[in-house]
Copies of this chain bind each other. A is one copy, B any other.
Amino acid sequence: MITGKNYIGNLLSSVGEITFTTFNPKTNLSNNHTFVEASTVEIQEAVALATKAFDTYKNKSGVEKSVFLLQIASEIEALGDKLLHVYCEESGLPLARAISERTRTLFQLQTFAKLVKEGSWVAATIETAQPDRKPIPKPDLRKMLVPLGPVVVFGASNFPLAYSTAGGDTASALAAGCPVIVKSHPMHAGTGELVASAIIKAAEKTGMPNGVFSNLNSSGIQVGIALVEHPQVKAVGFTGSLSGGRALYDLAAKRDEPIPVFAEMGSINPVVLLPTAARTSSEKWAQVYAQSITLGTGQFCTNPGLILGVKSADLDEFISKLSSEILKVAPSCMLHPAIIGNYEKNKETLSSQQGVKVVTSASGAVKENYARQTVITVLGSTFLKNPTLHQEVFGPFSMVVQCDTVDELREIIVHLEGQLTGTILAEGDDFKKYPAVVEGLKTRVGRIIFNGVPTGVEVCDAMVHGGPYPASTDSRFTAVGTASIKRWVRPFSYQNWPNSWLPDALKNENPLGIARFVNGERTTKSIG
């Protein structure tokens, strides 16, 4: 049941005075529930509980944490159709998407459960003493990863489940041993509360400390600011806009004790259509990209917003085919009137720049909050000179840049802002002929794709979802995949520590049976 209240630890609470509702963009009507924004007192209480919970939660075993994470997944599943219904009502996204996003969310929780149950992720590194070393003895040193403390997670607008309340940030932080306080996204506060109730149930059933999780409603920016500025908060995870992510980063950097902010802030995801591929495969790529650009109404941070090619009849052909293919896609609903408002505004800003030609724009009547997919085109020289054209248009939009030469194309790439992904479409001798283009693109992105689309982010060990700023605030980490746990931990060393007082991961006997680096070798063996 949706109460509209906050979870301050295990307790539902609504002492604040600011209220708000969510909105159904498909019906263009407000939803029924009223949500109460978290008050200052509730924010303080949530952080105090998280700080206290950390004292015990940080020492929970991998097995205990995995039981908790799996229980969260079960409780979310147990929410059943109610959750899917609220999800659709608050996002305008179709049921099939709700189901697949729930599957992804459960998979993420299960993946981190498996990771911490197995236990080797703590990167236990042991160097035993060398008492006879000259000129001075070498001490015994043992290192492992330990959690940072309470983490604040900002839910994303475009993934009400997979990047929100129990999404990748929350799952990885809880797996790391950090209590989590979610600043719920106002557009899907009901979905958030349902998922929060599942997490709280799981915490209670598996004996986790009160405060290991809280869920705070907010309609504006004040709750988020108060959380990021709180001295007991030790790290922040965010998925959203550049302006939002940068604002949080700046707040965190100005604290007496600066804290890490991992903000994944989107990207225009450049795609390079190399000459031979343009000649031989433009029809295929036009079809594939018409789908990729409009997938989820273009509301993905990996949406391909920039396609670069060399001016030619082949590229003209590609543009014309992309144009006709994308018109075949039925317009679909965006997440919220504010989102489509921004889409229209940003699309207009780019379309009205000098030298820009609008190639395709779905015409005819569309329902309120439904987005018309749009493709524009511009010359390379124009794109190079005008940074406004580098801005992300969040929605079913892409821009084809027609470069005079491959050199100009490379020039554009190396001057691009940092991106989550880059894609190379190549056939025949393209790779061999244009290595500088590929090399250039590699310096600007976190993930590079060959003959495919950037949309679709695997949750796995080898994923990088992040990239040079402004794709993310710290390219040294990924927001997706098992390695995302590393955002919330720090290495910690024990020197000459008595074996019986070491954590299990570092004990001579290796009671957890994990893989460790012992005197330079990876082994599961015990020591001595």
Partner-B contacts on A (CB < 8 A): 55, 100, 125-127, 135-136, 138-139, 141-143, 146, 148-149, 249-250, 253-254, 257-260, 418, 431, 438-439, 442-443, 446-452, 456, 458, 460-464, 466, 468-470, 473-478, 483, 486-487, 489-498, 501, 515, 517, 520, 522
Contact = CB atoms under 8 A, between A and B. Distances in A.
A246 to B, nearest CB: 8
B449 A495 contact: yes
A104 B125 CA distance: 21
Contacts of A463: 141, 143, 493
Given A446-B491, A456-B136, A496-B452, A469 B431 contact: no
Contact of A442 (B461, B464, B474, B492): B492
B127 A496 contact: no
A146 to B, nearest CB: 8
A493 B520 contact: no
A125 B462 contact: yes
A509 to B, nearest CB: 18
B515 A464 contact: no
A450 B498 contact: yes
Nearest to A124: B462
Given A253-B253, A475-B148, A476-B489, A497 B462 contact: no
A462 B142 contact: yes
B464 A143 contact: yes
Given A138-B460, A257-B469, A446-B491, 14 more contacts: A125-B483, A139-B449, A139-B452, A139-B456, A141-B463, A143-B463, A143-B464, A250-B253, A259-B469, A450-B496, A452-B496, A468-B490, A476-B489, A477-B491
A391 to B, nearest CB: 15
- Which of A142, A143, A477, A497 has most chain B Cβ within 10 Å? A143
Contacts of A55: 439
Contact of A522 (B250, B450, B462, B515): B515
B143 A496 contact: no
A522 B522 contact: yes
Contacts of A476: 148, 260, 486-487, 489-491
A125 B461 contact: yes
11 contacts: A127-B458, A127-B462, A141-B460, A143-B483, A250-B253, A253-B253, A257-B468, A449-B495, A463-B493, A464-B491, A476-B486
Contacts of A497: 448, 450
Contacts of A142: 462
Nearest to A143: B462
A516 to B, nearest CB: 10
A501 B260 CA distance: 35
Contact of A495 (B249, B448, B461): B448
A478 B451 contact: no
B447 A464 contact: no
Contacts of A141: 458, 460, 462-463
Contacts of A439: 55
A493 B138 contact: no
Nearest to A235: B476
A468 B139 CA distance: 23
A162 to B, nearest CB: 15
A350 B260 CA distance: 32
Choose among A139, A470, A477 the residue with the greatest number of B CB atoms under 10 Å from its CB.
A139
Contacts of A495: 447-450, 452
A460 B469 CA distance: 32
A456 B136 CA distance: 10
A55 B443 CA distance: 9
A288 to B, nearest CB: 13
Output the residue of A452, A497, A522 with the most chain B CB within 10 A: A497
Contact of A258 (B136, B249, B462, B522): B249
